[in-house]
């Protein structure tokens, strides 16, 4: 049986030759998962804010329970939030609702 990638060398158990298998393992190690920088919770809606280039954040709706989120990175919009302006809180709430109803 030949290697799936190069089709030249004989394959081992996973369908890859040792050289191609090493390259596949290396690329999977390099690709790390991006964790949300902050979490927003509003009316049982959970939104994750992921960092992107230029220091901006990308919002994404998450299907997680708001009870299991890290408290240090979670902004609960159902209660009074210190450290944020009124306009920022309004934008956060609008973001949560627009993602939930999209």
Measured CA to CA in angstroms, residue 13 lies from 31, 69, 94 at distances of: 23, 40, 52
State the number of CA atoms in the 13 A half-sphere of 13 facing the CB. 0
What is the pLDDT averaged over residues 75-91? 93
* pLDDT tens column, 1-42: 788 888 888 887 778 888 888 887 777 666 677 889 999 999
Res 20: pLDDT: 84
Q: Where are the domains of the chain?
A: 1-32, 38-100
* pLDDT tens column, 34-80: 889 999 999 999 999 999 888 899 999 999 898 999 999 999 999 99
- Residue identified by tokens 């998962």 is 33
Res 31: pLDDT: 63
pTM equals: 0.66
Phi-psi region of 55 (alpha: psi -120 to 50; beta: other; left: phi over 0): left
Structure tokens at 83: 């450290």
């Amino acid at each position: 049986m030949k290697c799936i990638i190069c089709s030249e060398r004989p394959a081992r158990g996973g369908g890859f030759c040792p050289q191609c298998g090493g390259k596949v393992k290396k690329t999977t190690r390099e690709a790390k998962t991006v964790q949300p920088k902050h979490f927003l919770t509003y009316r049982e809606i959970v939104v994750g804010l992921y960092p992107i280039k230029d220091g901006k954040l990308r919002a994404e709706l998450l299907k997680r329970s708001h009870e299991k989120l890290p408290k240090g990175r979670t902004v609960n919009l159902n209660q009074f939030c210190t450290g944020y302006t009124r306009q920022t809180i309004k934008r956060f709430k609008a973001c949560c609702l627009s993602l939930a109803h999209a």
